[in-house]
Structure 1
Amino acid sequence: MSASLPAAEKVAERAQEIHSTIEADKEFPAFKAASLKYDSDWQCFTGSVVIAEYDQEQDKHGLFAEGLKALCLKAAVYEMTGDEKTAEIPIAVPVDEMTHAMIAQPQLLARITARVGVSIIHQTDQEHTDWRPEDYTYQAYCAAWGEPDPRLWLPAEEVARRLAWLDQKYAAMGFRKQGQAHSFMFSADELASVPA
């Protein structure tokens, strides 16, 4: 059974402290650089592509900033509850995708969080990407940093709508199941027009 969520204002205050301490850490620049360099691996058919007029080179910096805030909120909830499931508060899909790039830097992140004295919580089978304006995450975020960027913090229903639209586009190109299946053979004929 999950623990009760602490007051959003208390979480916000602690998340701000965690955020400031992480950013001040001596290895934070290396952590940020490594996370942003992961950009050729962390994009997927269902994450950042739902952002309007998305450009990974330009948008990865804003997504990193939002991903860090999301992880700090989750760390604050975990610190106050001691419960991993409770700490998996709803996060917007594009922001959640960025957190994957961040936790893919385990050595740097482990050293930073050890010095800061916090635990970063993220487990795929427990994560919630059903974020909505006015929910608990929104309240804590607003108390800590003001309104989240609406271009990056997309409500779950809007993400679902955009993914349905993208599914139609993917299907026209031969991709099924949001890019998780296709029937391309990569035969010599199919690849004939592509330089080796």
Structure 2
Amino acid sequence: MLAAFEADKEFTAFVAASLKYDADWTCYSGTPIISRYNQETDAAPLFAEGMRALCLKAAVFEMTGDENAAEIPIAIPVDEMTHAMIAQPQLLARITERVGVRIIHQTNQEHTDWRTDDYTHNAYRAAWGDPPGRYWIDHTEATRRLAILHAKYEAAGFLNMGQAHVIEFGELVPA
């Protein structure tokens, strides 16, 4: 499935569009849990992991026909990358139609509680070997890192993991 995606005539455009999404990746709880994250050096390998995750989900859907079952646990940073990929709906729709697969993702159904040796890990391992620990951060460790980020964000005035803040910008002067 992954090879079919990569062979598609629009895959290069899909990669470029997904990686261009970087300015909109401002998420306080996804890529920031990667130690010393750097968009320039981490985007391409994280894209590869996002593709693998989407292919695993598509494979589960293909085997079961069950969208809920296809929402397998994904590591938080990898899930964030899948959002950048899904934000390219026209390209993704054309590629998946030609490849003959359905990409499954619904935010209120997703699971970002990936754990070492769970179903996702074992399926990934069977397909490609062990996932890179830099991006596939076990849920327990991800939770620990999120607590550190939460404290740092609050100290800087960002509350609820960036969903609110206490920064004042001053009143605009009417023209």
Q: Same fold (TM over 0.5)?
A: yes
Partners of 2:166 and 2:32 lie apart in 1 by: 22
Give the CA deviation at 1:68.
0.1
Partners of 2:100 and 2:18 lie apart in 1 by: 21
Instruction: Tell me if 1:115 matches 2:90.
Output: no
Output one character per residue of 1:145-194: Cα deviation in whole Å (capped at 9) or x when no partner.
00100011001111111010111111111111111111222127xxxxxx
Q: Which among 101, 104, 109 is matched to residue 84 of structure 2? A: 101
Aligned partner of 1:139: which letter? N
Larger Rg: 1
Identity of aligned residues (%): 66
Instruction: Tell me if 1:80 matches 2:63.
Output: yes
Output one character per residue of 1:71-117: Cα deviation in whole Å (capped at 9) or x when no partner.
00000000110000000000000000000000000000000000000
TM (norm. structure 1) is 0.86
Instruction: Show the counterpart of 1:156.
Output: 139
Aligned residue pairs total: 171
Partners of 2:150 and 2:13 lie apart in 1 by: 36
Gap runs ≥5 in structure 1: 1-17, 189-196
Cα contact 1:19–1:72 (8 A) shared by 2: yes
Instruction: Show the counterpart of 1:175.
Output: 158
Aligned partner of 1:98: which letter? M
Gap runs ≥5 in structure 2: none
Query: RMSD over aligned Cα, in angstroms?
Result: 0.8
Structure 1 segment 137-156 matched on structure 2, within 5 A: 137-156=120-139
Give the CA deviation at 1:57.
1.4
Instruction: Show the counterpart of 2:37.
Output: 54
Cα contact 1:42–1:101 (8 A) shared by 2: yes
**Runs of 4 or more off by more than 4 Å in structure 1?**
none
TM (norm. structure 2) is 0.96
Give the CA deviation at 1:43.
3.2
Instruction: Show the counterpart of 1:20.
Output: 3
SS of the equivalent of 1:38 reads helix
Give the CA deviation at 1:24.
0.2
Partners of 1:25 and 1:122 lie apart in 2 by: 21
Partners of 2:126 and 2:55 lie apart in 1 by: 13
Instruction: Show the counterpart of 1:136.
Output: 119
Cα contact 1:43–1:97 (8 A) shared by 2: no
Partners of 2:36 and 2:25 lie apart in 1 by: 18
Partners of 1:80 and 1:39 lie apart in 2 by: 33
Cα contact 1:31–1:105 (8 A) shared by 2: yes
